[in-house]
A and B are shown apart, each in its own frame.
Chain A
Amino acid sequence: MFYSAKFWGALRGVINVMLVVYMLAPLVIIFVISFSSALYLTFPPPGLSLQWYEKMFSNPTWTRTLVTSLKIMVPAAIVATVLGTAAALALSRMESKWALVIRAVLMAPLVVPVIITAAAIFGVFRIWGLYGSLSGLILAHVILTLPYVLSTVSANLAVFDKRLEDAAANCGAPPWTAFRRVTLPLISPSVMSGMLFAMVISFDELVVSLFLSTPRVRPVTVQMWSNIKGDTDPTIAAIATVLFLFSLLALLADGLARRRSGREPGL
């Protein structure tokens, strides 16, 4: 039995199914429950309804926090994308050994446990009066998401043929034109990818937001956190589904962008 290909094939099949169940089942269950007609969290639901989505969108707590999340996400993702892309470009052209050090420093927020970043930023922002402000949260989210942009764009620049810029210059293009007409179009898929990453990270972020937010300025994840710790009703399932669908959409958009540019799917 040990030697038969059938046995190994079947075993691999079982492993695959178990993996899919373990990774996806919780999300699927949340998704289904969010459409439940029951008044409490139960599975399988007795019937389907949109009541929890109605509840969510009619409850100002949820709509306000959702809007706050977006108000943080959009500027944070844009700033992180611009700064991260600019830094990636500069680093890719740097020949000094300092480039490695600077890159490590810019990547540090990804490596340092978030709780440390959160505590440190909270401590300092409180002194600077940024605690509980939208701009404070945006700044913090830029710090957290910039490494993602930097690493995706850098990975693309590593395979970018720099002689194309030389060729553009030789054709008569000044540096900025060469960048706009040649470099930017060629790295734009990774810039997009980095921005999507930044958006998802910002939208899902909880730990730093937990420290920096106040009841007045509170992103949806923090609201969810306090509700989960209290009593839970299927509205949270609806919110979770919204968050999950947002991530899924970003993942699909990224996959599409990569496929169009012919790159391999990465992490």
Chain B
Amino acid sequence: MTDSLLKLTDLGKAYGLINAAKDINLDVADGEFVTFLGPSGSGKTTTLMMVAGFTTPTAGGISLNGQPLDPIPVWKRDIGMVFQHYALFPHMTVAQNIAFPLEMRGVAKRDRRTKVEEAMEMVGLAGFGQRLPKELSGGQQQRVALARAMVFKPRLLLMDEPLGALDKKLREHMQLEIMHLHKNMGTTVLYVTHDQEEALVMSDRIAVFNQGRIEQVGAPRDLYEAPETKFVADFIGETNFIAGQAAGCGNGCASVRGLNGQLGAPLVDGAAAVLAVRPERLRVISNTTPGAENTLTGTVKELIYLGQSRKAIIALEDGTEVAALEQAAQAEATALAIGSQATLSFRARDARILADV
């Protein structure tokens, strides 16, 4: 990426012996929507806070537009931020909250007013200017926070779990609104969340964090279809894991327990590995089908009716349970009963062989 706006190079933050973030390398292109996804304590917020300037890195550097950011204090970074619980100033009205960053930049009073009006219009809060934050609902407060972070047209907008406090329905609605705002304004966004669905819906690219490091960066589709580590495969979506030893490694392919798949990352023969395959990639076949590759047999333990699809939980001989998801029409064709034997098959290119850690 040549036109990268934000560049994180070997970035790290250590508290004593504990690494909150380590070896973070990331290029963010202008206009891109990048999400930091990971469980709590994985370093995603620490990294965001280093970009914002609230946390001083102990290793590596950050540059914005080619300029190193490290010597610039928070208040001069010109980066907008939406805080986790909004952090609206409770003693200021909505309009005063939104005007605050403009005021700090010495924008003339008249300009300020029109820009505040525009920002409120943009987030659908026109006419709410004289209210105090505590008089607004959670969703409305969220919009104020958004307007305050965007009113000065920052090159980069940071969002720290901005939708965490909202209920599911409102959250989904706000996800779409934020995406639209991002498209219309063309602002580059760094977005932190622990909600994988949210990340898949909103992002151009996702950086998956685990234990202070980035496990994998990629488009949502790449992460889902081609995870490079077991953690990523497990954290994003539902996956079946079959554990064993890697064999026949080479040429991007390998096998585990005689089952073939594609290598997510280089492995050597004999290494502990898992074969990861998504439930929707498993097909139930009749055990007489000849020539089927990659077959698994086991006992049907549970059948879950999901309307448009059916999920079958099947216990393999060694006790490993795998889930197979079939579309309703397909499911009707393969009549299964609890307690009966079933054979599953998958294509080698739908399975990933990953190091087992």
Interface centre among B73, B81, B88, B89 (most CB of A within 10 A): B89
Give Cα A169–Cα B152 distance, bound, in whole angstroms. Answer: 14
In the complex, residue of chain A having the shortest beta-carbon distance to the beta carbon of B80: A170
Does A1 lie at the interface of the complex (its beta carbon under 8 Å from any beta carbon of B)?
A: no
Given contacts A172-B101, A173-B104, contact A164 B75 (CB under 8 A): no
Q: How far is the CA of A176 from the CA of B95 in the complex (A)?
A: 22
B90 close to chain A: CB less than 8 A: yes
Which bucket holds chain B's interface residue count? 20 to 34
Please report which residues of chain B, range 118-157, place their CB below 8 angstroms from some CB of chain A when the two chains form the complex. Answer: 148-149, 152
- CB contacts under 8 Å to B, within A160-190, are 161, 163-164, 166-175, 177-178, 181-182, 185-186
| Contact of A170 with B75 in the complex, beta carbons under 8 Å | yes
Check if B20 is an interface residue, CB within 8 A of chain A: no
Which residues in chain B, 143-193, are within 8 Å of chain A measured between CB atoms?
148-149, 152
- Over the window 74-85 of chain B, the binary record of Cβ atoms lying under 8 Å from chain A Cβ atoms (1 yes, 0 no) is 111111110111
Interface string of B271-295 (1 = CB under 8 A from A): 0000000000000000000000000
Residue numbers in B under 8 Å from A174 (CB-CB): 73, 75
Report A's interface with B, CB cutoff 8 A. Answer: 161, 163-164, 166-175, 177-178, 181-182, 185-186
A163-B83, A166-B83 known; A171+B91 contact, CB < 8 A: no
Can you list 8 contacts pairing A with B, beta carbon distance less than 8 Å?
Answer: A164-B89, A166-B83, A169-B74, A170-B149, A172-B101, A174-B73, A174-B75, A185-B91
Q: Which residues of A have CB within 8 Å of B104?
A: 171-173, 177
CB closest residue in chain B, given A167 = B87
The 8 A CB mask of B52-79 against A (1 = contact, 0 = none) is: 1110000000000000000001111111
User: Given contacts A167-B83, A167-B88, could you give 15 more A-B pairs where the C-beta distance is less than 8 Å?
Assistant: A163-B84, A167-B81, A167-B89, A168-B89, A168-B100, A169-B53, A169-B73, A169-B74, A169-B75, A170-B52, A170-B77, A170-B79, A172-B101, A172-B152, A178-B75
A175 to chain B: closest CB distance in Å? Answer: 8
Q: A171-B100, A171-B148, A173-B104 are in contact. Are A166 and B91 (CB under 8 A)?
A: no
For residue B105, CB closer than 8 A to chain A, the reply is yes
CA A173 – CA B148 in complex, angstroms?
A: 13
Chain B residues near A163 (CB, 8 Å)?
Answer: 83-85, 87
B-to-A contact residues, CB < 8 Å = 52-54, 73-81, 83-85, 87-91, 100-101, 104-105, 148-149, 152
Partner of A182, one of B54, B78, B84, B89: B89
Contact of A173 with B75 at beta-carbon distance under 8 Å, contacts A166-B54, A185-B91, A186-B90 already known: yes
Instruction: Report the minimal beta-carbon distance from A114 to chain B, rounded to whole angstroms.
Output: 38
* Distance between Cα atoms of A169 and B80 in the complex (Å): 10
Q: Are B74 and A170 in contact (CB under 8 A)?
A: yes
Distance from A203 Cβ to chain B, minimum over Cβ atoms (Å)? 31
Residues of chain A with a CB closer than 8 A to B152's CB = 172
Task: Tell me the bound Cα distance from A62 to B138 in angstroms.
Answer: 59
Which residue of chain B is the closest to A177 with respect to CB atoms? B104
**Which chain B residue has the least Cβ–Cβ distance from A262?**
B134
Q: Which residues of the partner chain B approach A168 to less than 8 Å between Cβ atoms? A: 89, 100
A263 to chain B, nearest CB (A): 13
Compute how far the CA of A168 lies from the CA of B148 in the bound complex, rounded to whole angstroms: 11
A166 to B88, CA, bound (A): 11
